């Protein structure tokens, strides 16, 4: 699969009784390996991998990682080995980890503080064996990942033009901040007025927001030098009120949100990312009286995690 095969993902209205104009952009429907933002990013990373003719892919992520699932799938499709380095602390069996095994990925787990050195050692070993390895940062972080979400932003703009609508707010789950960075870069390049609100799934401010700002600056340094740093600061809205117990922990509210979204919209959410973001968005909307605003929720994927959730549901 390559990016040339991908059409814009659907945007459709959700019939919500509280919000008059709530829409969802369904990144989970990217037609590759259960889709999601990691599929959109990985498609671009693999264009690079194909171009330079790398013969091994190395990446980082836990056993819950959507990124690692997609990367392992794309490597298997090309018949090149995939090495995944992950933290011992999050290495339980999940649908994503079962899929990684099915794709034949080599999974190395080490205590989290050893991850960095293990990655370096693995890359060194592969090079000394005559390989040409390609390393993808965890979650598909970096300018290539950011570029993927600048393109997603353009899809949103095209939809707005076609349907004669303007979204006042865009909400989504923010993890490594790459998706967030790409959307804000798109907004800055196109000089659009709206609120792009990332709901943190784990990181707290100020660090969480700083990481997004750094990613935006790194991308704009390359694509639009001379951009206004103050504008980047102003446009980066990163909410850390909804992280709950941190990465991968479901709370009661999130559980209810997931069940409710499945029943009312037929839309699967998960406990780590999309369920948290949807739940956080609804709370933010109520607290700020945004019920009549035009709101777009980006469904960033993670469908295998929905099934993990079902397995745990009471
Ligand atoms: C990784 C992920 C996110 C967060 O995306 P980032 O670009 O890392 O901020 C959100 N939702 C899902 C389903 C993810 O897998």
Which ligand 1 atom sits nearest the alpha carbon of residue 198?
9
- As a whole number, mean pLDDT of residues 264-272 equals 96
pTM (two decimals): 0.96
| Pocket, ligand 1, Cβ cutoff 6 A | 36-38, 66, 139, 173-180, 273-274, 300-302
Instruction: Tell me how far the alpha carbon of residue 248 lies from the centroid of ligand 1, in angstroms.
Output: 12
pLDDT digits (tens, 9 = 90+) for 50-98: 999 999 999 999 999 999 999 999 999 999 999 999 999 999 999 999 9
Q: Which of 29, 300, 303, 305 to mutate to test the pocket of ligand 1 (most atoms within 8 A of CB)?
A: 300
Q: pLDDT per residue over 128-178, tens digit each?
A: 999 999 999 999 999 999 999 999 999 999 999 999 999 999 999 999 999
Give the domains, in start order, of the chain with CATH numbers: 3-35+142-313 (3.40.50.1100), 39-140 (3.40.50.1100)
In testing the pocket of ligand 1, which one of 95, 174, 175 has its CB within 8 Å of the most ligand atoms? 175
Res. 252 pLDDT band, cuts 50 70 90: confident
The set of residues, in sequence order, having a beta carbon less than 8 Å from that of 251 and lying 6+ positions away, is: 244, 245
pLDDT tens by residue, 164-174: 999 999 999 99
Q: How far is the CA of 75 from the centre of ligand 1 (A)?
A: 20
Sign of the C-alpha dihedral computed for residues 178, 179, 182 and 184 taken in this order = negative
Cα torsion angle, 176, 261, 242, 91, sign: negative
Nearest-atom index, ligand 1, CA of 149: 7
């Amino acid at each position: 699969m390559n990016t040339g095969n991908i059409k814009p993902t659907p945007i459709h209205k959700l019939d919500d009784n509280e919000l008059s104009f709530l829409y969802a952009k369904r990144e989970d429907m990217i037609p590759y390996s259960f889709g999601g933002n990691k599929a959109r990013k990985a498609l671009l990373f693999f264009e690079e991998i194909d171009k330079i003719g790398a013969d091994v892919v190395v990446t980082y992520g836990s056993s819950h990682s959507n990124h690692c699932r997609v990367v392992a799938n794309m490597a298997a499709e090309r018949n090149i080995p995939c090495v995944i380095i992950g933290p011992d602390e999050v290495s339980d069996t999940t649908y994503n980890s079962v899929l990684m095994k099915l794709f034949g990925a080599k999974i190395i787990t080490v205590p989290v503080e050893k991850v960095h050195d293990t990655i370096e050692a693995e890359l060194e070993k592969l090079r000394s064996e005559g390989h040409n390895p390609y390393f993808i940062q965890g979650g598909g972080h970096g300018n290539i990942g950011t570029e993927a979400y600048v393109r997603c932003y353009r899809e949103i703009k095209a939809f707005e033009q076609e349907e004669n609508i303007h979204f006042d707010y865009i909400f989504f789950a923010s993890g490594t901040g790459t998706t967030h960075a790409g959307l804000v870069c798109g907004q800055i390049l196109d000089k659009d007025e709206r609120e792009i609100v990332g709901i943190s799934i784990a990181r707290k401010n100020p660090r969480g927001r700083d990481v997004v700002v750094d990613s935006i600056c790194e991308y704009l340094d390359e694509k639009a030098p001379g951009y206004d740093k103050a504008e980047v600061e102003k446009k980066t809205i990163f909410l850390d009120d909804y992280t709950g117990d941190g990465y991968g922990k479901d709370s009661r509210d999130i559980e209810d949100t997931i069940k409710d979204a499945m029943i009312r919209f037929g839309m699967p959410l998960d406990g780590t990312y999309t369920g948290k973001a949807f739940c956080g968005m609804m709370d933010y909307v109520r607290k700020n009286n945004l019920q009549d605003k035009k709101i777009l929720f980006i469904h960033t994927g993670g469908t295998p995690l929905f099934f993990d959730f079902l397995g745990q549901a009471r």
